[in-house]
Each structure stands twice: as C-alpha cells, then as structure tokens.
Amino acid sequence: MKLKQKLAINYIRAQLNILALVSPKAAAQKAFQLFCTPGKRAGRKPPPFTQKGERLSFKLEGHTVRGHRWLPHQASTPTLKKVLIAHGFESTSRNFDMYIQPLLKKGYEVLAFDGPAHGQSGGKRITLPLYVKTLQTINELYGPVHSFMGHSLGGLALSLVLESLPHDSDTKLVLIAPPCEMVSAVDAFFQLLQAGKDIRKEFDDLSYELFDRPFSWYSIRRALHQVHADILWLQDEEDKITPLKDALRVKEDRHPNIEFVITKGLGHRRIYRDPAVIRRIVDFL
C-alpha cells in the first residue's frame, strides 16, 4: 500500500472513530457511503473498435446508465443470441473490449454497460442491489439475454439476477473471480478501517433499513442453488481480492452445472485479459 493511501485510510479511520463517540449510527452511515463509493473512474481511452458500437442509455433511480450494443459483422447473419458483459467494482465495460470481436464472429449480439458511478455512467455510489437492478433493466430493455459474463462484483450481481430470471440449462453464465459472500467483503472493509463493533452493528442494521435483507443474503453460494444455467467459473490461486478458498467452498457443494477452472499467477484482474482465458470463455459461450 502506498504512503498516500495509508495516510488517507488513517484519516478516515480517525474520522469514523471520533464520529462514533457522538453517534455510532452516523459513523455507520458514513462508512456505508465509503463502502459504496468507487475510489476512481477508469481513465483509459476507449479502443476505436469499442466506439463503433451503438450507444445506448437509460435512466435508473436518478442515474443515467450508458453502454453500447454491437451487432454481428455480417448484416445478413441473424443474431443467434445476446450476451451481456458486467464489469467489476472500480472497472468499466471498455476493459472487456477484447471479447467483443470474437463474440461477434460467433453470431452474438453483445451488450456492455457501465454500472452507476462507473465509466461513462452517472452517479457517485453503487450498491449491489442497484447493480442488480441495472442488469435486470438492461435485460428488460435490450434482451432477452441468453448468455452472461461477469467479473468480480459483476459476477455476483449476475448470479442474483439469474436467481429471479426465467432461464434453463441452455443459458450460459461465465463467472470470473466473483466475490462469494458480501459479508466477507464487509469484513475486509472493517478490518481495513479498524472500526469498532458498535459501528459494525449499526452498519449491518443499515442493510435491513435500506434493502429489507441482511448482507448475508447477498451470497453467490446461496443464489447458485437457484441458478440452473451452464456455468464456467474461473478463479486464480493468487487472487487477493476474491480468494480461491471462497470459491472452493462453492465447489464443495458439487453443482453438476458448474465447471471450475483454476489458474495461477494471473491475480484478480489480469485473469480476464489472459489470451488463454479469453479463448476458453469465448469457446464456452
């Protein structure tokens, strides 16, 4: 961790602990805002090919959600299926441009949007329920989608979408390093901030107030018991964001519809850019 990051975390930690002396609930609300706020927006210039897609946008809960749609190369080729790509936290749809042309060659119509508070979309914060609603809206407006691909938070969100979306074993779902339990993400966040138990209790209570569900409900392990799609799960041994041990717990459930691929040395983000992984995913879809 860089010195600048350490100083910022120490400052936030001190702010929260001081605020908790007056009101643990106010401190928890402040912590929740931080938890849902991306630290940066991707600044990489979009590849020229990415810009050739049809620009799409819609309004959702006061945010403008922006994305693109690409149609197969041959105008006379009927669109066989639609695929939706969902990026992770502090990422953007443009990071997955290397998948677009191979999928178009397979006859897919490709959909990729920036989640709220990410990339070209509006907003300052994103919650998992908001991301799920965003993906559901994309399917309603531009679907029906047959195949889904999600990295990190996008993978967890897609699993929750499919849990309530009509689908069958012909539906395809690619999960790339998804977080298995939202509780684990909250645990890691509080460990980083070293916030007190009184703040954590109020923080957990906020989940009920805002979403009528505990953080424990937002679980890929729980959701996949209701997902019947054909699933390809890719995970790296050296992923420090979504550890392999969490994925192995899901593997222990022995879902017959899930194929696990374990890589080594790619970490959390390089995994979806690896040429061998790209070929494996495109072949699967």
Lowest mean pLDDT among 20-29, 61-70, 152-161, 270-279: 20-29
Contacts of 43 (CB under 8 A, 6+ apart): none
- Secondary structure element (H or E) that encloses residue 151, with its range: strand 147-151
| Statement: residue 243 has pLDDT above 60 | yes
> Beta strand 63-70 with 54-60: parallel, antiparallel or unpaired?
antiparallel
* Cβ 65 vs Cβ 115: under 8 Å: yes
Q: What is the pLDDT of residues 207-227, one digit of tens each?
A: 989 999 999 999 999 999 999
Helix (H, G, I), strand (E, B) or coil at 124: coil
Residue 42 Cα to chain centre, angstroms: 15
Lowest mean pLDDT among 46-50, 68-72, 151-155, 190-194: 46-50
- What is the arithmetic mean of pLDDT over 86-91? 96
- What is the arithmetic mean of pLDDT over 68-95? 85
What mean pLDDT value characterizes the chain?
91
Residue 46: C-alpha distances to residues 51, 83, 105 (Å): 7, 20, 21
What CATH number should be reported for the domain whose range is 53-181+218-284?
3.40.50.1820
DSSP summary character for residue 267: T
Q: What is the rounded distance in angstroms from the CA atom of residue 76 to the CA atom of residue 47?
A: 26
Q: What is the pLDDT of residues 109-120, one digit of tens each?
A: 999 999 999 999
- What is the arithmetic mean of pLDDT over 141-163? 97
Q: Could you give the angle at the alpha carbon of 97 between the alpha carbons of 246 and 273, nearest 5°?
A: 40
Q: Dihedrals φ, ψ of 119, to 5°?
A: 50, -125
- What is the arithmetic mean of pLDDT over 21-32? 91
**Encoded tokens for 211:** 């979403």
| Domain spans of the chain, in order of start | 1-35+182-213, 53-181+218-284
Strand-pairing partners, residue 259, are 232
* Cβ 66 vs Cβ 129: under 8 Å: no
- What is the arithmetic mean of pLDDT over 250-274? 97
**What's residue 7's pLDDT?**
45
Q: What is the rounded distance in angstroms from the CA atom of residue 240 to the CA atom of residue 57?
A: 34
Q: What is the pLDDT of residues 167-178, one digit of tens each?
A: 999 999 999 999
- What is the arithmetic mean of pLDDT over 85-93? 96
Confidence band for 17, pLDDT divided at 50, 70 and 90: confident
Confidence band for 193, pLDDT divided at 50, 70 and 90: confident
| Statement: residue 48 has pLDDT above 90 | no
pTM exceeds 0.85 for this model:
yes
| Statement: residue 11 has pLDDT above 80 | no
DSSP summary character for residue 226: G
Residue 100 Cα to chain centre, angstroms: 18
Among 85, 89, 92, smallest CA distance to 44 is for: 92
Q: How far apart are the first and last CA of the chain?
A: 37
